[in-house]
Amino acid sequence: MFTRRLFLASSALGLAACTAASAKDLSKNTETAGYAGDEWRQLSEADWKARLSPAAYEVLREHGTERPFSSPLDKETRAGMYHCAGCDLALFSSEAKFDSGTGWPSFWEALPGAMGMSVDRRLFYPRDEYHCARCLGHQGHVFDDGPAPTGKRWCNNGVALTFKPA
């Protein structure tokens, strides 16, 4: 007999399987292949926990999302570069930053070779998720509602970034 409990359990297992299947092995991704032997790829989860704040660990290593409007980097307007909080790779220039009104730091383009892409299906619909090309730390999602010239909005978790003024 197909009960409600059985239906819910099978749905949850199916969703988990879809999510796991869609999360590409980023270490084999062509965008991240240049860093395959990098020391950052050798760190254990215990190493990451020791290096990162709990909030940064949740976002970078467990694909979490910080609360909107919680990062001071959302309102940062100085010239400079935004780096991965995990490994310090430069990811964005302040020249590509804009105020999207979403509560997260947003950019219309990433630096060349800085990101690896995957598909995130955790919200029942696919989203383009991006990661630091060097340490594979989760940064955020890309949407097609950004300004010219790319029309893209790279929506980043502020806790996954550090800012270095020019």
Phi-psi sector, 164: left (phi>0), alpha (psi -120 to 50), beta:
beta
Asked if residue 105 has a cis previous peptide bond (ω within 30° of 0), the answer is no
Q: Which position among 84, 87, 132, 155 bears the catalytic label?
A: 155
Catalytic status, residue 155: yes
Longest Cα separation, the chain: 66
From start to end of the chain, where are the E strands? 80-84, 90-93, 97-98, 106-107, 115-120, 127-132, 138-143, 153-156, 161-165
SS (H, E, C) 54-67: HHHHHHHHHCCCCC
Enzyme catalytic residues: 155
